[in-house]
Amino acid sequence: MSQDNRGFNLEKVRADFPLLTRDIRGVPLVYLDNAASTLKPIHVIDRLQQYYRNETSNVHRGAHYLSSQGTVAYEASRETVRRFVNAKSIHEIIFTRGTTEAVNLVAQSWGRANFKEGDEIILTELEHHSNIVPWQMITSEKGCKIKVIPVNDIGELEFDKYLELLSPKTKMVSMSSCSNTLGTVTDVSKYIEAAHRVGAKVMIDAAQSAPQFPTDVQKLDCDFLAFSGHKVFGPYGIGALFGKEELLESMPPYQGGGSMISEVTWEKTTWAAVPQKFEAGTPAISGALGLEAALSYIMDLGFDAIIAHEHDLLEYATRELKEIPGLRVVGEAKNKAAILSFVIDGAHPSDIGSIIDQQGVAVRAGHHCCQPLMKRLGLPATVRASFSIYNTRGEVDILKQSLIKAKEFF
């Protein structure tokens, strides 16, 4: 596994991730829960250490050296996020706690200001709860209706049905570019184009696509897009929201507090310009610096190498696992990211997860925060193996063997 034929140095990549050297239950860790959180490369860990050892200070306020250096570094991280998603300006990048907070921000700020009774919001059957519940909260308050794009039996969205749902009543379409449960990759650009034709705005949940393929908000022409740091090799508690500048300018703040104001009097408060207007309170400074290190790491590796490696793993894993009698792959879209959900006849997914955990194999089992999708599939849960840049074909073999062993228990 030293050097594969695309010049992607897998051994070197693996050496960047200290947790991969850890034994779990006496055997080497096989980490296949990357759709939940990726592991962290040494570059990110070092950046966090460096900040806490040598640079700790609050940003934007202090008159002293450390604070002004911290502010420069924090804003430089914003520039790296801008570059990662190819936004026009750093004014379009808001640091959030992650995708969930970003969706809540748009729902509570843009939604509260723009939705009125009778309006419609379109979501998809593939969505994670974090791209459902925030919309339910605001639409139930405003008397709007949620419509849902159905998914077909192999896990692809039905574009024709989407076109039928769209109307001048549609105010927002919010959808993921990659399903965390089935791995389905949706060509969101045609959904965005169609939404814009009826005057609707579009939010893209890029939580799963951000670590797997390039994000280009200008090419997509989406209005909002969100991703989470912990799924792109970065720290917890940080993520980003992209929003078109004119939209962010027009939106009321999501939270009030320090840093987001221009002037406060007892009579009236005025807001700071974007992006500060949406970053009330002390931000996750170390998180932003760690995120910068993570995104730089990804961009240095390059998406061509990442896509080729993960595609190879997905194809290999799909082929190998299908050889196990009674195993059924759930979600076989033509365009898939390296996420493999499956069920095994007569075995509950969480039992499978616990049994293979005994062999050091980390997967996820459950509804993956997609209960409406599970209902559509007629399943209570699946086992999900999700792959990343540091996984190997050898680890797929270990997964397969551990599943064969687990089957003996049922």
Catalytic residue positions, numbered? 369
Cβ neighbours of residue 356 under 8 Å, at least 6 residues apart?
363, 399, 402, 403, 405, 406
How many amino acids of this chain bind ligand PMP (CB under 6 A)?
13
Query: How far is the C-alpha of 407 from the C-alpha of 410, rounded, in Å?
Result: 6
Supply the minimum distance, in Å, between the C-beta of residue 186 and ligand PMP: 11
- What are the Cα distances from residue 20, in Å, to 29, 58, 69, 391? 6, 33, 34, 10
Q: What is the 3-state secondary structure (H, E, C) of 283-303?
A: CCHHHHHHHHHHHHHHHHHCH
Q: Which stretch binds ligand PMP (CB under 6 A): 12-20, 125-133, 154-162, 389-397?
A: 125-133
Total Cβ atoms within 10 A of residue 113: 10
Pick out residues in 218-237 that bind ligand PMP (CB under 6 A). 228
Supply the minimum distance, in Å, between the C-beta of residue 265 and ligand PMP: 36
Supply the minimum distance, in Å, between the C-beta of residue 225 and ligand PMP: 12
208 vs 391, which CB is nearer to ligand PMP? 208
176 vs 392, which CB is nearer to ligand PMP? 176
Query: How far is the C-alpha of 156 from the C-alpha of 336, rounded, in Å?
Result: 10
Residue type, 360: G
| Residue 207 found at the interface with ligand PMP (CB under 6 A) | yes
Total Cβ atoms within 10 A of residue 7: 10
Cβ neighbours of residue 179 under 8 Å, at least 6 residues apart?
126, 155, 186, 208, 331, 339, 370, 373
Q: Which stretch binds ligand PMP (CB under 6 A): 44-52, 202-210, 345-353, 382-390?
A: 202-210
| Residue 124 found at the interface with ligand PMP (CB under 6 A) | no
Binding mask 332-371 for ligand PMP (x = CB under 6 A): -------------------------------------x--
| Residue 180 found at the interface with ligand PMP (CB under 6 A) | yes
| Residue 176 found at the interface with ligand PMP (CB under 6 A) | yes
**Strands 239-243 vs 201-205: parallel, antiparallel or unpaired:** unpaired
96 vs 402, which CB is nearer to ligand PMP? 96
261 SS3 class: strand
| Residue 205 found at the interface with ligand PMP (CB under 6 A) | yes
| Residue 104 found at the interface with ligand PMP (CB under 6 A) | no
205 vs 279, which CB is nearer to ligand PMP? 205
Interface residues with ligand PMP (CB under 6 A) are 98-100, 128, 130-131, 176, 180, 205, 207-208, 228, 369
